[in-house]
Amino acid sequence: MQDLSQGTREQRTFDAIVVGSGIAGGWAAKELCEKGLKTLVLERGRKVEHGKDYKTFAMNPWDFRYPNGRTPQDEVDKHYPKQARTGYTVNDQWNHWFVKDDEHPYTEVNRFDWIRGYHVGGRSITWGRQSYRHSDLDFEANAKEGVGVDWPIRYADLAPWYDHVERWMGVSGTNEGLAQLPDGIFQPAMEFNVVEKSFKGKVEGTFPERRVTMGRTAHLTKPTDEQMKIGRGTCQTRNLCMRGCAFGAYFSSNGATLIAADHTGNMTLQPDSIVTEVIFDKAANKATGVRVQDGNTGKVTEYYAKVIFLNASALATTWIMLHSKSDRFPNGFGNDSDELGRNVMDHHFLAGAQADVDGYEDRYYAGRRPTGIYVPRFRNLGDTKTKQKDFTRGYGYQGGASRTGWQRLVAEMGFGKDLKDEISEPGAWTMGLTGFGEMLPYRDNRVWLNHDVKDKDGLPTLTMDVTIRQNELNMRKDMQSSAVEMMEAAGFKNVRPYDRPYAPGLGIHEMGTARMGRDPKTSVLNAHNQVHGCTNVYVTDGAAMTSAACVNPSLTYMALTARAADHAVNALKRGEL
Amino acid sequence: MMDRRELLHRASMLMGGTISASAAAGILAGCAATPWVDGPTPMGPTGNFLTPLEMATITSMADQIIPKTDTPGALDVGVPAFIDRMLAGYYPQRERDVIRTGLAKVNADAKALRGVSFSQLTSDEQVELMKRYDREQYDYTRANGSANPPVPPHPFRLVKELTILGFCTSEPGATKLMYYNQTPGPFRGDLPLSEVGKVSAL
């Protein structure tokens, strides 16, 4: 590729710049390129080619230096003490998709887990792929309850863009006709196993307001011609997704949006490009471009465009904005409201129940389903029956049943031939549910720039001060007790509630730090995700979220991005930007 | 999220306090195991941590834990070398110390019993001692499994755990004793067990 940083100003000028190549940036790139804009996509991390750079894709458990990719504890301690807090992210199968904490430090007033990777595709390679729509219950909640600020949009504004995104990316799932979890455009859902079928029957029979559905997940089960044309295929249920999928069976930027963007001939994708600032022109009252520090050489170059999409991820986008100071925006770009960096949200989880299941010993399943069952929110739906006394909002459950494998034998007594015989047999069925709960926006849950601690590129870092509060703590009790009552209704044994340590960020759904709103005094973005006070800059990643809802957020980032890209192109045509 | 779900599911098995903290860390890190066929491997054949006496002791124990039958056993897939490599490169000092001290005690017990090292005992004598250790580790783990901060694992627990891990994640263990298919194709949710036959290795 040509070295653009050596180029003339004209060569460094595009119609659009997209900052970040993750799930939101990929969509911005695709939509803007397909609508004819010459688009520069800047990614701070290294290049990743779909398929070719999934270096562990085909490896067997015995091909790794330690079993199944285990990373030795001293390496974890040295490089990944924070990235390892999830318990599953640091492993040789995929730790190349996560930053090294010693290279990319951050400071915690209270524990905050910022789990992320810097490379083309970002977390679209490692995401959980659960895809759910927000409903009007979510869009209206802040206004009704006087919490935070009102969303400047409603479900009807976003519904066509959810359709657009789901149809193109491919989501498997089932329509349920629920107001709190709008239906969508789905490929066939993955199958239930025998215990989950029984659970569904018993729960829905006992609790009419509760539904048990298959997780809506961004895996192709019946690919469209359009999907196959860009090289995507049917999910092979390897459930090794975080290694990257050479089949393109789950949705990622690398396997889908960036391919489509590239096919237009309009995209220039430049890795190793750390955007440090948005360049603001006071006279024109516009952003003219971005300042980029080369991730390898440190060389600083400016790139210019008519419209800029910030999609670096919620906190990284916020970092760029806080780091972009000018006469017009002395407290950070677009920060007239002092809301930039505030209202950090995540989904709190790891509260629910586990149970043992007797019987069904002659039933099994084939394949490793890369999703679980889902119980949509059933609390505080706006009627008196579901209204809760001690918390507002709600949660959904993710979970599933399975049979234990050889790992169970470690905990049992015995050795010799009997133990060996047991290795080949599936163990008993067990089932688990965990609630994913909505976290409210609290103004003093915030991040700010830390100039004392620098990252490996010599740039300032972030400090986080974020906690969950009474509403979340009360909800967690209900997340346990409702799971217990469903498991008991299903006739399961040894039902055990649990509430494991959760800290904000652990859900890897950080959001809210440049929220959308109706009033520039109390929000950072308008109804089209344009920055108040500088409308040729759009923010459509997690930073834009005005409330968290209780569902996994990526689908909403994608829909917001596609909608904003459409707005930007039309506004450009009208000469408004 | 698949991985988070799997984590939770596995975590459920940890909650009864029936698994050592080091095993929990391993399982949470994404268990299933590796090939430990003797001979050149990505890590070399052994880690050169265990002394010849310790290696002989581990070898006898691993052979008793997963013996060769009409299918390969622990020794056929190179479990002793695997354990040596794990101790040398994977585990922190604490686990190394546990094993070293534990194996010294095993050989002291053998010496007290018959005046020889553990590997020189008869098979029945080895089994008798190991049954005692197995009971000890089971009770110890039950009592301490959920301790915070975590207590060091019982040495026999660690040997047994590593033997099972090494065997089940070896190619012969995974493919001959279990159903191993990295690319199964579309998920079939509800089948008679007889159609699959064996447990999934992954």
- Which stretch of A151-160, A201-210, A339-348, B11-20 has the lowest confidence by average pLDDT? B11-20
User: Per-residue pLDDT for A30 more than 90?
Assistant: yes
Specify the DSSP element, H or E, that contains A267: strand A267-270
The phi and psi torsions of A565 (rounded to 5 degrees) equal -65, -40
Neighbouring-strand partners of residue A539: A310
When CB atoms are compared, the residue of A405, A425, A430 closest to B12 is: A430
**Nearest-CA distance from A67 to chain B in Å?**
4
| Rounded Cα gap, residues A571 and A576, in angstroms | 5
Task: State the amino acid at position B11 in one-letter form.
Answer: A
**Helices B155-168, B123-144: crossing angle, 10 deg rounding:** 100
Place of tokens 């695709």: A30
pLDDT at position A231, please? 97
CB A62 within 8 A of CB B169: yes
**Nearest-CA distance from A238 to chain B in Å?**
5
A334-390 residue pLDDT tens:
999 999 999 999 999 999 999 999 999 999 999 999 999 999 999 999 999 999 999
| Rounded Cα gap, residues A488 and A355, in angstroms | 9
Q: For the beta carbon of residue A288, count every other beta carbon within 10 angstroms.
A: 17
| Rounded Cα gap, residues A338 and A464, in angstroms | 16
Contact check, Cβ <8 Å, A72/B10: no
A508-523 residue pLDDT tens:
999 999 999 999 999 9
- Percent of chain A exceeding pLDDT 70 equals 100
Place of tokens 């005046």: B115
A470-511 residue pLDDT tens:
999 999 999 999 999 999 999 999 999 999 999 999 999 999
pLDDT at position B6, please? 46
**Nearest-CA distance from B175 to chain A in Å?**
10
A152: which residues sit within 8 A by CB, 6+ positions away? A516, A517, A518, A523, A526, A527, A546
Sort out which chain B residues have CB atoms less than 8 A from A402's CB and list them: 9
Q: B156: which 2 tokens?
A: 């026999």
Interface of B with A in 104-163 (CB under 8 A): 127, 130, 134-135, 138, 141, 160-161
| Rounded Cα gap, residues A352 and A343, in angstroms | 26
Domains of chain A plus CATH, in order, are: 1-119+251-345+439-464+509-544+562-577 (3.50.50.60), 191-215+347-438+469-503 (no CATH)
Q: What Cα–Cα distance (Å) separates residue A402 from each residue in A196, A360, A446, A490, B6?
A: 9, 11, 40, 15, 10
Contact check, Cβ <8 Å, A366/B193: no
CB B136 within 8 A of CB B160: no
Specify the DSSP element, H or E, that contains B189: strand B188-192
Q: A515: which 2 tokens?
A: 């929220």
A498 in B contact zone (CB under 8 Å): yes
Mean pLDDT across chain A, nearest whole number? 97
Contact check, Cβ <8 Å, A237/B193: no
Q: Which of the four pLDDT bands, split at 50, 70 and 90, describes residue A550?
A: very high
| Rounded Cα gap, residues A29 and A38, in angstroms | 10
A284-311 residue pLDDT tens:
999 999 999 999 999 999 999 999 999 9
| Rounded Cα gap, residues B1 and A553, in angstroms | 12
Interface of B with A in 45-104 (CB under 8 A): 64-67, 69, 71, 73, 85-86, 89-92
**Helices B155-168, B52-65: crossing angle, 10 deg rounding:** 70
Sort out which chain A residues have CB atoms less than 8 A from B36's CB and list them: 62
Neighbouring-strand partners of residue A398: A374, A434
pLDDT at position B40, please? 34
When CB atoms are compared, the residue of A71, A363, A399 closest to B193 is: A363
CB A514 within 8 A of CB A334: yes
Mean pLDDT of A176-180: 98
Q: B194: which 2 tokens?
A: 């007889």
When CB atoms are compared, the residue of B9, B171, B190 closest to A432 is: B9
CB A28 within 8 A of CB A559: no
Task: State the amino acid at position A362 in one-letter form.
Answer: D
**Nearest-CA distance from B116 to chain A in Å?**
23
Sort out which chain A residues have CB atoms less than 8 A from B189's CB and list them: 190-194, 196, 365, 369
| Rounded Cα gap, residues A504 and A263, in angstroms | 39
Sort out which chain B residues have CB atoms less than 8 A from A399's CB and list them: 5, 8
**Nearest-CA distance from B154 to chain A in Å?**
12
Environment class of A266 (CB within 10 Å of its CB; exposed 0-12, middle 13-18, buried 19+):
buried
B6 in A contact zone (CB under 8 Å): yes
The phi and psi torsions of A407 (rounded to 5 degrees) equal -55, -30
Sort out which chain B residues have CB atoms less than 8 A from A89's CB and list them: 3
SS (H, E, C) A123-149: HHCCCCCECCCCCHHHHHHHHHHCCCC
The DSSP 8-state label assigned to residue A143 in this structure reads H
Mean pLDDT across chain B, nearest whole number? 82
User: Per-residue pLDDT for B4 more than 70?
Assistant: no
**Nearest-CA distance from B5 to chain A in Å?**
6
| Rounded Cα gap, residues B142 and A565, in angstroms | 57
Mean pLDDT of A31-40: 98
User: Alpha helices of A406-513 — where are they, by DSSP H?
Assistant: 417-423, 470-489
User: Alpha helices of chain B — where are they, by DSSP H?
Assistant: 2-14, 21-28, 52-65, 79-85, 93-114, 123-144, 155-168, 171-176, 193-196
pLDDT at position B46, please? 65
pLDDT at position B18, please? 35
**Nearest-CA distance from B149 to chain A in Å?**
15
For chain B, the domains span 23-172
Contact check, Cβ <8 Å, B42/A365: no
CB A29 within 8 A of CB A18: yes
Nearest residue of A to residue B73, measured between CA atoms = A420
CA-nearest of B160, B111, B105, B118 to B137 is: B160
Sort out which chain B residues have CB atoms less than 8 A from A420's CB and list them: 66-67, 69, 71, 73, 177
SS (H, E, C) A227-266: HHHCCCCCCCCCCCHHHCCCCCCECCHHHHHHHHHHHCCC
Burial B91-115 (b: 16+ CB within 10 A, else e): beeebeebbbebbeebbeebeeeee
pLDDT at position B45, please? 54
B44 in A contact zone (CB under 8 Å): no
The DSSP 8-state label assigned to residue A338 in this structure reads S
B17 in A contact zone (CB under 8 Å): no
CB A20 within 8 A of CB A318: no
Contact check, Cβ <8 Å, A368/B27: no
pLDDT at position A209, please? 93
pLDDT at position A3, please? 82
CB A253 within 8 A of CB A119: no
CA-nearest of A81, A106, A107, A105 to A95 is: A81
Q: A57: which 2 tokens?
A: 């894709």
Interface of A with B in 402-421 (CB under 8 A): 402-411, 413-417, 419-420
Contact check, Cβ <8 Å, A364/B195: yes
Contact check, Cβ <8 Å, A68/B169: yes
Q: What Cα–Cα distance (Å) separates residue B82 from each residue in A397, B35, B92, B164, B202?
A: 40, 8, 16, 11, 19
CA-nearest of A215, A180, A444, A475 to A348 is: A475
CB A459 within 8 A of CB A492: no
The DSSP 8-state label assigned to residue A544 in this structure reads G
When CB atoms are compared, the residue of A68, A365, A371 closest to B30 is: A68
User: Per-residue pLDDT for B103 more than 90?
Assistant: yes
Interface of A with B in 422-451 (CB under 8 A): 423-427, 430, 432, 434
B121: which residues sit within 8 A by CB, 6+ positions away? B60, B110, B113, B114, B129
pLDDT at position B39, please? 35
User: Per-residue pLDDT for B9 more than 70?
Assistant: no
Q: What Cα–Cα distance (Å) separates residue A358 from each residue in A401, A473, A489, B130?
A: 12, 32, 14, 32
Q: A361: which 2 tokens?
A: 């010993």
Q: Which of the four pLDDT bands, split at 50, 70 and 90, describes residue A1?
A: low
List the end-to-end C-alpha distance of chain A, in Å, as a whole number.
30
Q: B49: which 2 tokens?
A: 């941590």
Sort out which chain A residues have CB atoms less than 8 A from B160's CB and list them: 410, 415
B129-167 residue pLDDT tens:
999 999 999 999 999 988 888 899 999 999 999 999 999
A57 in B contact zone (CB under 8 Å): no
**Nearest-CA distance from A106 to chain B in Å?**
23
User: Per-residue pLDDT for B117 more than 60?
Assistant: yes
Sort out which chain A residues have CB atoms less than 8 A from B177's CB and list them: 420, 423-424
pLDDT at position A2, please? 66
| Rounded Cα gap, residues B185 and A239, in angstroms | 11
When CB atoms are compared, the residue of B5, B67, B171 closest to A62 is: B171
Q: A335: which 2 tokens?
A: 């920060």
pLDDT at position A411, please? 87
| Rounded Cα gap, residues B174 and B77, in angstroms | 11
| Rounded Cα gap, residues A243 and A370, in angstroms | 13
Sort out which chain B residues have CB atoms less than 8 A from A498's CB and list them: 12, 15
* Phi-psi category of residue A436: left, alpha or beta, with phi > 0 → left and psi -120 to 50 → alpha: beta
Give which of A85, A187, A191, A364 to mutate to test B binding, by max B Cβ within 10 Å: A364
pLDDT at position B146, please? 82
B24-73 residue pLDDT tens:
333 333 333 333 333 333 333 567 899 999 999 999 999 999 999 999 99
B34 in A contact zone (CB under 8 Å): yes
Sort out which chain B residues have CB atoms less than 8 A from A65's CB and list them: 42-43, 89
| Rounded Cα gap, residues A283 and A327, in angstroms | 11
Number of alpha carbons in the 13 Å side-chain half-sphere of residue B177:
30
| Rounded Cα gap, residues A450 and A474, in angstroms | 33
pLDDT at position B184, please? 94
Sort out which chain B residues have CB atoms less than 8 A from A493's CB and list them: none
SS3 A77: helix
Sort out which chain B residues have CB atoms less than 8 A from A88's CB and list them: 3-4, 6-7, 28-30
| Rounded Cα gap, residues A518 and A572, in angstroms | 22
A249-259 residue pLDDT tens:
999 999 999 99
CB A523 within 8 A of CB A532: yes
CB B193 within 8 A of CB A196: no
- DSSP percent split of chain A into helix, strand, coil, nearest 5: 30, 20, 50
Specify the DSSP element, H or E, that contains A25: helix A23-34
Radius of gyration of chain A (CA): 24
| Rounded Cα gap, residues A211 and A213, in angstroms | 6
Place of tokens 């595009």: A14
Specify the DSSP element, H or E, that contains A318: helix A314-322
